[in-house]
């Protein structure tokens, strides 16, 4: 099984992404749409939400209710992502020890977290005069 996204940029630094029957925009400058790192942080946190829910059930915390993740991505001097911080708030009454167990399990389950490993690098091909 594979996932497929088609990204098209007519000009400039903005791109439209076709994902199944959905369309999203990302603008590297962040002027007309979220920038690339904001989109990555949103995907990371969005993936982490269901991982937290499953982790909560697997670590006997039950249903977590409303979940809010404030995600901060610190940038280095080259404006590249250097670190990510999740500040997680849940509706359920969960003690700190159980919360740590849920967090550990959620990182094991989160597919985006797994994809951010350093050895994952896109294999590429390039075709000129294609249009």
35-115 sits in which CATH class?
Answer: alpha beta
Contact in structure between 60 and 73 (CB atoms under 8 Å): no
DSSP element (H, E) containing 55: helix 36-58
Please enumerate in sequence order all residues whose Cβ is within 8 A of that of 16, keeping only pairs 6 or more positions apart, or say none: 7, 8, 9, 23, 24, 25
Would strands 81-90 and 67-75 be described as parallel, antiparallel, or unpaired?
antiparallel
What pTM was estimated for this model as a whole? 0.89
The predicted structure's pLDDT at residue 126: 82
Instruction: Kindly list the domain boundaries of the chain, sorted by start residue.
Output: 1-34, 35-115
17-61 pLDDT, tens digit per residue, is 999 999 999 999 999 999 999 999 999 999 999 999 999 999 999
- Return the number of other C-beta atoms located less than 10 Å from residue 28's C-beta: 15
Please enumerate in sequence order all residues whose Cβ is within 8 A of that of 5, keeping only pairs 6 or more positions apart, or say none: 17, 18, 19
70-99 pLDDT, tens digit per residue, is 999 999 999 999 999 999 999 999 999 999
How many Å apart are CA 6 and CA 18, to the nearest integer?
A: 5
């Amino acid at each position: 099984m594979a996932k497929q996204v088609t990204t098209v940029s007519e000009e400039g630094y903005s791109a439209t992404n076709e994902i199944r029957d959905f369309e999203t925009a990302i603008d590297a400058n962040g002027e007309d749409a979220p920038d690339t790192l904001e989109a990555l942080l949103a995907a990371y946190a969005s993936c982490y939400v269901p991982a937290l829910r499953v982790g909560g059930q697997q670590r006997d915390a039950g249903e977590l209710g409303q979940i809010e993740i404030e995600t901060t991505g610190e940038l280095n001097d080259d404006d590249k992502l250097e670190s990510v911080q999740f500040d997680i708030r849940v509706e359920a009454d969960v003690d700190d020890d159980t919360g740590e167990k849920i967090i550990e399990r959620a990182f094991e389950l989160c597919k985006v977290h797994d994809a951010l490993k350093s050895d994952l690098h896109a294999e590429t091909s390039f075709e000129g005069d294609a249009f």
